[in-house]
Structure 1
Amino acid sequence: MNDHIVIVTGATPIPERVAALVPDAAIVLGVDSGFDHALAAGLRPNGLIGDLDSVSDDGRAWAEEHATISRHPADKNETDTELAVAFAAGMAPAWLTMIGGGDRLDHTIAAIGSLAAPAATSIPRIDAWWNGQHIEVMHGPSRRTLSLTPESTLSLLVLGRPCDGVSISGVRWPLDGIRLEPVVGLGVSNEVTDAAGDVSISISSGVLSVFDHPLVESTTD
């Protein structure tokens, strides 16, 4: 099992504070132009994945010398990011992190949604940094205690089919075993009330995304 795989995707550079969180031992996969963003952030990607329509010539040349290239046709049913998630899941990591960003809403939804893929169910921990926002992704059944910034906001949004057995404590508006439907406001804009920032979340089925503000930004807990 690989301890930690980091996928870099999207159309924007990696924020410096996020790049600093990537441990040296992580396996980094660049998705098309995400490969260039990884290099620009000082990372050394291990793989280049996609149809290679947006990676730079310099980035491709670097990959040919130092990384494994998994090239796919431009005409396909999956996005490059979906292909990268499936590739990473096949490596059986203990932790998968996606780093990305961009101003296209359709790409954003598709990228975050790719973390709900059935292939990712076996990955013990999944999270993402998108445009600098941290997102924790839980595949049910699952229980997590998150260390978040006291008095910060957090939102629960379902990815895909409804989530059952959703419970959350340590917040202003706790939930207890409810069914949460996709893209509804019930889980949006809650507040961390626990003095230490400990928030407990559990789900019995479905895939839940938690938009949060970690107390200590770390990729090595």
Structure 2
Amino acid sequence: MRKTSVSSSIVLNSGPVTLVGGGQASIEDLSEALKIAPICVAADGGAALALRAKIPIEALIGDFDSVTAASLLQIPPDRQFKISEQETTDFDKALTLVDAPLVIGVGFLGGRIDHQLAAFSTLVRFAHRPCVLLGAEQIVLVAPPRMSIATQAGEVVSIYPMAPVQGVSTGLEWPIDGLRLDPTGRIGTSNLATGPATLNMESPNALLILPRRLILPVVQSLLHPDAAGWPLRAE
């Protein structure tokens, strides 16, 4: 049985948590995430989708500049956590206040490009908190130190560097071994799998973009007892 507790500043859960944002997402997207991560936390305006789907909200976190008054009336006050500072995004606020082995983010891809870029920055900055963003056709996560990926031949595997990074791979048409990936230089988008693939990365500076169908095996890999994670970044 999953144990969940909420304090004034954090959500603690022993299993994966779904975090819903206010971007483009459907009830079907949220339902798919909840099958894997059944506890729902809303980041500000993401409450609207959860309420429309009639999903109980464990906690609402954000600066409340996009959640409606009507939504707030449907959420118990003791589950509302308003953080008024404007130095961080609602995704930042929510991700840092959710203590769980994995977060699945719904409503953070699609729509405004600046919002997506901000979400990618958050993923990399808080790489020690594993998070998979679910989009209409793809999933996005920080490439972990090592991972086996159940790709099929011909599937697109993109490795996008958010800062200089190196790694090694197997099962890709264009291996990344010996390459220095850099957002202002060589990037690793639109690679193709030749079958099951593996990645080993030297630092938490690369986004891994995969077909949406792989969300369950990716989550299972990240939650495996032997999975390697990234440490908290040094200040």
The alignment's TM-score, normalised by the length of structure 2, stands at: 0.77
CA-to-aligned-CA distance 1:1-49 (integer Å, 9 cap, x gap):
6221221113323351452232376332111111111222343221101
Partner AA of 1:55 in structure 2: V
Give the 3-state SS of the residue equivalent to 1:148 in structure 2. coil
Q: Cα 1:103–1:214, aligned 2, differ >3 Å: closer, same or farther?
A: closer
1:83 aligns with 2:93: yes
Name the residue aligned to 2:39. Answer: 27
Partner of 1:62: 74
Distance 1:216 1:13, change over 3 A: closer
Residue 51 (str. 1) matches residue 63 (str. 2): yes
Closer, same or farther: CA 112–209 of 1 in aligned 2, 3 Å: same
In structure 2, C-alpha distance between the alignment counterparts of 1:183 and 1:36, rounded to whole Å: 38
Given that residues 148 and 214 in structure 1 are in contact (C-alpha distance below 8 angstroms), is that contact kept between their aligned partners in structure 2? Answer: no
- Structure 1 pair 183–103 and aligned structure 2 pair: CA distance change class (3 A): farther
User: Taking structure 1 as reference, are residues 216 and 106 closer, same or farther at Cα in structure 2, changes over 3 Å only?
Assistant: closer
Q: Which residue of 1 aligns with 2:173?
A: 172
Against the structure 1 CA distance between its residues 64 and 18, is the aligned structure 2 distance closer, same or farther, given a 3 Å change threshold?
Answer: closer
Q: Cα gap change, 1:17/1:148 in structure 2, threshold over 3 Å: closer, same or farther?
A: farther
Q: Give me the CA root mean square deviation.
A: 2.4
Partner of 1:12: 24
One-letter amino acid matched to 2:131: I
Match of residue 138 from structure 1: 143
* SS of residue paired to 1:176: coil
- Structure 1 residue 183: Cα displacement: 5.5
Change (3 A) 1:199 1:27: same
SS at the partner of 1:52? coil
* 3-state DSSP of counterpart to 2:33: coil
Structure 1 residues 42 and 10: alpha-carbon distance in aligned structure 2, compared to 1, 3 A threshold: same
Q: State the partner residue of 1:181.
A: 182
| 8 A Cα contact 1:147 1:214, kept in partner | no
* Uncovered stretches (5+) of structure 2, i.e. residues with no partner: 1-12, 221-235
* Cα distance between partner residues in 2 of 1:143 and 1:205: 10
Post-superposition shift, 1:162?
1.5
- Residues 163 and 180, structure 1, Cα contact 8 Å, conserved in 2: yes
Q: Deviations over 1:79-99 (max 9, x none)?
A: 1111111112xx2x2112211
Task: Give 4+ residue runs of structure 1 displaced > 4 Å after superposition.
Answer: 214-217
Deviation track 1:56-89 (CA, whole Å, cap 9, x = no partner) reads 2232122226x6211022x52111111111112x
| Aligned match of 1:98 | 105
5+ long unaligned stretches in structure 1:
none
Q: 1:114 aligns with which of 111, 114, 122?
A: 122
What is the number of residues matched between the two proteins? 206
Deviation track 1:128-176 (CA, whole Å, cap 9, x = no partner) reads 113442113225xx100111243111211123x3123x11221111121
Partner of residue 152, structure 1: 155
Q: Structure 1-normalised TM-score?
A: 0.81
- Corresponding residue for 2:4? none
Q: Tell me the residue number matched to 2:53.
A: 41
Corresponding letter in the other structure for 1:104 = R
